[in-house]
Amino acid sequence: MDILIGVGLLLALIVSGIPVGFALGISGVISLFMMVPTPVVMGLMAEVVHHTASNYVLLTIPMFVLMAELLTASGMAKDLMIACNRLLGKIKGGLAMACVLAGSVLAAASGSSTASVASIASAAFPTMKSLGYDEGFSIGTMAIAGTLAIMIPPSIAFVVYGIITEESIGRLFIAGMIPGLMTALGYVLTISVAVRVWPHLAPDPKKIAEQMKQGGTALQQYGKVWPVVLLVIIVMGALYSGLATPTEVGAIGAFGALLISMMLGRMSRKAVIRATGNTLRTTSMIVTIIFGAMLFGYFMAYTQVTDAMIQWIADVGLSPYVVLLLIVFVYLMLGMFMDQFAIIVLTVPVSHAVLTGLGFDGVWLGIIIVKTAEIGLVTPPLGLNVFVASGVTGVSPQNGFKGAAPFIVMDLVILGLLLAFPAISLFLPELLR
Amino acid sequence: MNKLHGVLDRFVQVLENIGAVIAGSVLLFCMVLVSFDALLRYAFAAPLTFQLHLTQYYLLVLLTMLGLSWGYRSGGSIQITFLVNRLPENIRGLVARAGLLASSAYVAVLAVKAWEVFERAWVRDTVVMGVIDWPVAWSWIWVPIGCALLSTRLLLDATASRLRVMGGAH
Amino acid sequence: QTKLSVVHGSPVKHVVSILGAEPWMTCVKEKAGKEVDFNYYPAGQISKTPELLRALDSGVADLAPVPIGYVSDEMPLSGVVMLPGLGSTSTEIVTAYSKAIRPGGILSKEFEQLDIVPIWAMAFPPYQIVSTRGKINSLDDFKGRVVRSAGGAMNLAIQQLGGSPAEIAIGETYIALERGTADSTISAFASVKPFSLQEIMKSMSSNGAFGTFSNVMAMKKDKFDALSPETQKVFIDCGIQTEQKFAQTMDAEAKELAKEFAALGIDIYEFTPENLAAINGALGNVQSDWVKRLSGRGLPAQETLDGYKTLLGVK
Ligand code: NA
Ligand code: NA
């Protein structure tokens, strides 16, 4: 009952147009008052903001966003998008596919999907819009491209899962590679189908071809891409050579972007100030949503609804596959309302014990659960990646959710494949054993 | 009344701008500090032992909190509007003001509760032992400042004679 | 019936849960009957590890395992337990530390001032040095090494040994060691597998004393005082039972893990007496530095260190 009141209140506040972060916090606090004494609510409120702001991993968000903003401010992001479009321009929806490609590359350097989606959105949206892409579809594409960060290693989600379950973090990383690439391909496929079914989503390639030619020959345009390529090499190199941790690599990327663009004479003081301001705005918005979501999460914890659901499934005594499907269903449901990391921390101890007890592989389970987390990041009403993309671009989140819908369908298909064929996930880790 | 509101609003704007300038400078400083630390560790096996604590408990809190209200004012918020947009103008305004007031109250409580933690640390002069003694109060102070500013901003917006459009900085 | 909320930040499979909070609650429920019941919130669902002490203060938790390493601001002297070079097994450390924190003990004041009552204490067997590159055999081998540190006293220890402490967030330790961002870390045997370190480590010492981490399950004083004297006794008795069992299990487990890792081809080694003496000599500087800094703030650090050493039976 409490859970229905709390979720109902959240939905009511969100649709009355209150900023999402505040809606989460207010409904969380009011619902908490129903369940626990006032001093406890106050105690939770005293900690939540400082806790959110003093999280070292949070640093990835401003740093990757700053990197993207600097790329945008210097015009290098636009050069890249134009070149990508030239390359993929003959294909309808080429630029959207370029976003997925960029998302995959960023995913290999970053473990945070929030940081990833914010960077893609800052870098790609202005160009996509100016070329005539549908706004909602653009936001959906960026939000979904950002989810790749938690499947393609390194991934914070796998680290958390590995620590909780004592499954091998290394094996989880390797196991995530094929599902991650498969997901990226699935998104590209979705784009090519979607733009054929709904032609208004993407501009006609012939029309942009005219526009593109104004920027010089193809070779000239490709030639302009090298600063970005250099930056990608710096970021990936910094991580894989051991120069920096995944959290630090964003700072090096941002610093690199600043230095490169300054050396090319493409960065004015004004542009640096604008990029910094945009980064601050995005960061403060994300932080407000995170601590609001944490308060709502505390309420969810007090209802003990997650335990109850998974325990109930465990208790009824069904066949292993029915249990598996039910638990996956629970994850998809929870993913709509809760922060993905909160879900993993709260439920994985129980679900991992139940499902490995039934004979399922723990690493494979990690892939399945992270896949549901990817989906949860883009499903309404609480879809963090869509919120971030829409916050960065100013497009309304409901348009973003609409734009993400085709990708969610593809994600569900991939989830089905991963469930049906564990070998997709386990082939590589077995090979390297 | 309107005049007073205008004066207060401008005053808060000045505070927000100052906060944003400090936060922005700290953001760039973080970028340099973290990069520098990684380089020192990699090239000379001589990392800055204070970097993580300084960044995590002071710089990050400062930059997120001092930029909070400016970020909101300059369009850093998202809301779902398809339902409210169908309401008649006057009801829509009423709903928006009520939402802003509730948000202001919520953020005000966050500010007061964090202030209490700050005050306790300040009065008792508590420090965390690291390579140096880190004063706890200076890590917390940014939370009440940032939240109080944001709460005031939300209150001013709720009581403005003409409602400002939320979000949509672009 | 009194309902008490037990809160902690560790995963439910972590030793804080399975060897601490859970057996203690079971013991209490068995012996105290229906007088008390618990609401159990593990895994940081309502309060994360660094915030547990404040969670007790605000009433978010009635009972919480206070992580001594995170509360040097409120309980600086209690940090004596984490200093390197003191105690060689979990049993030794826990037995001495438990006496120090109970009423009348040398650390009891810090608990009284915060209006909390210690129920049981836990401490890992002393940390060991784990290397993913060359083996660290002696004091000299620390030179030029980048050692992952959790911060605080561990930074000082690594510096005294001649290494470079790199503070790396716990969740990034695996990636950092695998990529060579750091080439060694200080870890308890029990913390190796949760972070999959056995996959990438080449060697691990087994007789070093590089400090430990301790949690003290503490209860709000007003809630404790509200219990009947019999129930209070049950809480403490179960506490002593829990902490002893915890320490014995951890010591035995460390030995088993050492064997298990050796079977994986990892070099599990002991420092020679001379090398160990040199290392512990360097670590002694951490103790004197700790005393100097706390004394500077007017705290009886030397008395505390001496008293704790007496309880441990070391000179
Ligand atoms: Na990743
Ligand atoms: Na969702």
Number of separate domains in chain B: 1
Provide the shortest C-alpha distance from residue B160 to chain C (in Å). Answer: 37
Flag whether pLDDT at A129 surpasses 70: yes
**Helix (H) or strand (E) segment spanning residue A182:** helix A169-197
Cα separation of A70 and A75, whole Å?
8
Q: Do B49 and C167 touch (CB under 8 A)?
A: yes
| B81 at interface of A, judged by CB pairs closer than 8 A | yes
Beta-sheet strand order (sheet of C116-123): C36-41, C2-7, C63-67, C214-220, C116-123
Task: Give C310's strand partners.
Answer: none
Residue C315 pLDDT: 62
The number of C-alpha atoms within 13 Å of C161 and in the hemisphere containing its C-beta is: 33
Spatial CB neighbours of A380, under 8 Å, sequence gap ≥ 6: A336, A386, A397, A398, A401
Tell which of A303, A326, A349 closes a domain.
A303
> Which stretches does DSSP call E strand in chain C?
2-7, 36-41, 63-67, 116-123, 128-131, 146-149, 164-167, 184-187, 203-205, 214-220, 267-269
Q: Do A159 and C172 touch (CB under 8 A)?
A: yes
Question: Strand, helix or coil at C39?
Answer: strand
Q: Examine residue A275 and state whether it is found in any structural domain, yes or no.
A: no
Q: Are residues A50 and A85 in the same domain?
A: no
Q: Which residues 192-221 of chain C have a CB within 8 Å of chain A? A: 193-196, 199-200
Q: Do A165 and C13 touch (CB under 8 A)?
A: yes
More confident residue, A140 or A3: A140
Q: Are residues A189 and A70 in the same domain?
A: yes
User: How many Å lie between the centroid of ligand 1 and the Cα of residue A157?
Assistant: 9
**What is the interface size between A and B, counted as CB pairs within 8 Å?**
201
Residue B15 backbone phi and psi in degrees, to 5:
-60, -45
**What is the interface size between A and C, counted as CB pairs within 8 Å?**
99
Q: For chain C, which residues score pLDDT lower than 50?
A: none
Q: Examine residue A276 and state whether it is found in any structural domain, yes or no.
A: no
The Cα-based distances of C182 to A242, A360, C159, C164, C210 in angstroms read: 8, 35, 15, 9, 18
**Helix (H) or strand (E) segment spanning residue A398:** helix A397-420
Q: Examine residue A282 and state whether it is found in any structural domain, yes or no.
A: no
Q: What is the dihedral sign for C-alpha A391, A394, A395, A398?
A: positive
Per the listing, tokens 């915030």 go with C51
Residue A88 pLDDT: 75
Which residue, among A281, A382, A133, has the nearest Cα to B168 in the 3D structure? A281
Average pLDDT, chain C: 93
The Cα-based distances of A238 to A25, A229, C160 in angstroms read: 38, 14, 29
What one-letter code names the amino acid at C290? Answer: W
Of all ligands present, the nearest one to the C-alpha of A239 is 1
User: Percentage of chain A surpassing pLDDT 70?
Assistant: 96
Q: Are residues A204 and A334 in the same domain?
A: yes
Flag whether pLDDT at A222 surpasses 50: yes
Tell which of A275, A303, A331 closes a domain.
A303
| B84 at interface of A, judged by CB pairs closer than 8 A | yes
Residue in chain B lying closest to A386 (CA): B78
Please report the ipTM that was assigned to this predicted complex: 0.93
pLDDT in tens, C218-237: 999 999 999 999 999 999 99
Flag whether pLDDT at A337 surpasses 60: yes
CB C27 within 8 A of CB C243: no
Q: First vs last Cα of chain A: how many Å apart?
A: 48
Residue B170 pLDDT grade (very low, low, confident, very high; cuts 50, 70, 90): very low
Cα separation of B79 and A17, whole Å?
5
Cα separation of A109 and A124, whole Å?
18
Q: Do A248 and B110 touch (CB under 8 A)?
A: no
Beta-strand pair C214-220/C63-67: antiparallel
CB C289 within 8 A of CB C87: no
Provide the shortest C-alpha distance from residue C168 to chain B (in Å). Answer: 8
Beta-strand pair C116-123/C128-131: unpaired
Residue C27 backbone phi and psi in degrees, to 5:
-60, -45
Q: What is the dihedral sign for C-alpha A231, A146, A150, A68?
A: positive
Q: Do C166 and B47 touch (CB under 8 A)?
A: yes
DSSP chain B: -HHHHHHHHHHHHHHHHHHHHHHHHHHHHHHHHHHHHHHHHHHHS---TTHHHHIIIIIHHHHHHHTHHHHHHTT------TTGGGS-HHHHHHHHHHHHHHHHHHHHHHHHHHHHHHHHHHHHT-EEESSSEEESHHHHTHHHHHHHHHHHHHHHHHH-SSPPPPS---
Residue A212 pLDDT: 64
Spatial CB neighbours of C161, under 8 Å, sequence gap ≥ 6: C139, C142, C279, C282, C283
Domain span at A120: 59-267+304-431
Q: Do B126 and C74 touch (CB under 8 A)?
A: yes
Q: Are residues A65 and A36 in the same domain?
A: no
Question: Strand, helix or coil at C63?
Answer: strand
Cα separation of A255 and A277, whole Å?
16
Q: Are residues A141 and A157 in the same domain?
A: yes
> Which stretches does DSSP call E strand in C115-198?
116-123, 128-131, 146-149, 164-167, 184-187
Flag whether pLDDT at B33 surpasses 70: yes
Polymer length in residues for chain C: 315
Instruction: Give the Cβ contact number of residue C166 at 10 Å.
Output: 30
DSSP for residue C167: E
Residue A214 pLDDT: 65
Q: Examine residue B164 and state whether it is found in any structural domain, yes or no.
A: no
Q: Are residues A16 and A117 in the same domain?
A: no
User: How many Å lie between the centroid of ligand 1 and the Cα of residue A172?
Assistant: 12
Q: Are residues A260 and A374 in the same domain?
A: yes
Angle value at C-alpha A77, between B33 and A241, nearest 5 degrees: 45
CB A287 within 8 A of CB A19: no
What one-letter code names the amino acid at B19? Answer: G
Residue C43 pLDDT: 82
Residue A423 pLDDT: 94
Instruction: Give the Cβ contact number of residue A88 at 10 Å.
Output: 18
Residue in chain B lying closest to C165 (CA): B49
CB C168 within 8 A of CB C157: no
Q: Which partners does chain B have (≥3 C-beta pairs < 8 Å)?
A: A, C
Number of separate domains in chain A: 2
DSSP for residue C19: I
DSSP C115-132: TEEEEEEEEPSPPEEEES
Residue B169 pLDDT grade (very low, low, confident, very high; cuts 50, 70, 90): very low
Residue in chain C lying closest to B56 (CA): C169
User: How many Å lie between the centroid of ligand 1 and the Cα of residue A104?
Assistant: 8
| C133 at interface of A, judged by CB pairs closer than 8 A | no
- Please give the structure tokens belonging to residue C255: 């030995």
Q: Cβ-count burial of C244 within 10 angstroms (0-12 exposed, 13-18 middle, 19+ buried)?
A: middle
Spatial CB neighbours of A233, under 8 Å, sequence gap ≥ 6: none
Which residue, among A178, A133, A102, A141, has the nearest Cα to A406 in the 3D structure? A141
Residue B167 pLDDT: 63
CB A203 within 8 A of CB A132: yes
Q: What is the mean pLDDT of residues A382-399?
A: 88
Flag whether pLDDT at B103 surpasses 60: yes
CB B16 within 8 A of CB B156: no
Q: What is the mean pLDDT of residues A303-321?
A: 77
Per the listing, tokens 């990646």 go with A385
Tell which of A255, A279, A303 closes a domain.
A303
Q: Are residues A19 and A149 in the same domain?
A: no
Cα separation of C114 and C55, whole Å?
12
Q: What is the mean pLDDT of residues A313-341?
A: 84
Q: Do A163 and C171 touch (CB under 8 A)?
A: yes
Residue A215 pLDDT: 62
CB A151 within 8 A of CB A371: yes
The number of C-alpha atoms within 13 Å of B60 and in the hemisphere containing its C-beta is: 26
Question: Which of B56, B77, B100 to probe by mutation at the A interface, max A CB count within 10 Å?
Answer: B77
Which residue, among A349, A356, A347, has the nearest Cα to A324 in the 3D structure? A356
Question: Which of A31, A40, A51 to probe by mutation at the C interface, max C CB count within 10 Å?
Answer: A40
Q: Do B39 and A243 touch (CB under 8 A)?
A: yes
Residue A232 pLDDT grade (very low, low, confident, very high; cuts 50, 70, 90): confident
- Please give the structure tokens belonging to residue A163: 């620590």
Cα separation of A4 and B93, whole Å?
28
Q: Examine residue A272 and state whether it is found in any structural domain, yes or no.
A: no
CB A200 within 8 A of CB A136: no
Cα separation of A67 and A60, whole Å?
10
Q: pTM, whole model, 2 decimals? A: 0.89
Domain span at B137: 2-159
Q: First vs last Cα of chain C: how many Å apart?
A: 48
Question: Which of A63, A284, A401 to probe by mutation at the B interface, max B CB count within 10 Å?
Answer: A284
Q: Do C172 and A247 touch (CB under 8 A)?
A: yes
Of all ligands present, the nearest one to the C-alpha of A106 is 1
Q: Do B34 and A251 touch (CB under 8 A)?
A: yes
Q: Examine residue B170 and state whether it is found in any structural domain, yes or no.
A: no
Q: Examine residue B169 and state whether it is found in any structural domain, yes or no.
A: no
User: How many Å lie between the centroid of ligand 2 and the Cα of residue C113?
Assistant: 45
pLDDT in tens, A88-107: 767 888 888 988 988 888 78
Residue in chain C lying closest to A352 (CA): C13
Question: Strand, helix or coil at C272?
Answer: coil
Q: Which partners does chain A have (≥3 C-beta pairs < 8 Å)?
A: B, C
